[in-house]
Amino acid sequence: MSAAALTPLYTREAIAARVGELAAEISRQYRGEPLVAVCVLKGAVIFFADLVRQIDNAELRLDFVRLASYGEGSVAGRLRFERDLETDIRDRHVLVVEDVVDSGRTMAFLLKTLAARGPRSLRLVALVDKRERREAPVRVDFPGFCLDRGFIVGYGLDYAELYRALPDICVAEPRD
Ligand code: IMP
Ligand code: MG
């Protein structure tokens, strides 16, 4: 499949407003406490860049993970780190920053793995919380937008590595 038909869903203005609200909420939550923000590559990279610059926290550290599936195809496959954290998160407040939570499998794996390292707290902010296909019980502590159905691209989100740099988030439908 080459190109997709794109229909705007969340404009850059709507995204900016919501990211500002999330940053304010997160700043309040961790007031005066050191925080490690963890970007889940690649999809969260643009959200992460916008969000962390608005978090008011003098002891904010940034780190990055990249996960990959292996085994029996991407759906049934197991997950592993393609890039792990550099930071020792023991006894630290950790905030995972993800683009989309869909089935929840990716975040269930990541949160379980990070929890085993003994952080002081572990929370999840996701730009989009898709609940239609949830399989793993993942709680999004700070949801940006909730979406019932549809495949979305832009603002970091891809379809076959395309469309990540679009400033707006659009619903993508295959064109044939
Ligand atoms: P999971 O199903 O919750 O494990 O989601 C796995 C990954 O699929 C997410 O981290 C996203 O990167 C990606 N994903 C899920 N839904 C969408 C979408 O609508 N657009 C782009 N990527 C998506
Ligand atoms: Mg992702």
Residue 47, number of CB atoms within 10 A of its CB = 26
Residue nearest to atom 20 of ligand 1 (CA): 152
Is the confidence at residue 1, as pLDDT, over 80?
no
Residue nearest to atom 13 of ligand 1 (CA): 100
Kindly report the average pLDDT of the chain as a whole number.
Answer: 94
Q: Is 170 touching ligand 1 by the criterion CB < 6 Å?
A: no
pLDDT on residue 73: 56
pLDDT on residue 60: 98
Instruction: Give the global pTM.
Output: 0.95
Is the confidence at residue 75, as pLDDT, over 60?
no
| Mean predicted confidence (pLDDT) in 114-129 | 98
pLDDT band of residue 69 (cuts 50, 70, 90) is: confident
pLDDT on residue 4: 87
Residue nearest to atom 10 of ligand 1 (CA): 100
**Distance separating alpha carbons of residues 89 and 174, to the nearest angstrom:** 41
Distance of CA 21 from the midpoint of ligand 2 (Å): 22
Taking the CA of 109 as reference, the closest ligand is 1
**Distance separating alpha carbons of residues 137 and 105, to the nearest angstrom:** 9
What does the DSSP 8-state code read for residue 157? B
Taking the CA of 66 as reference, the closest ligand is 2
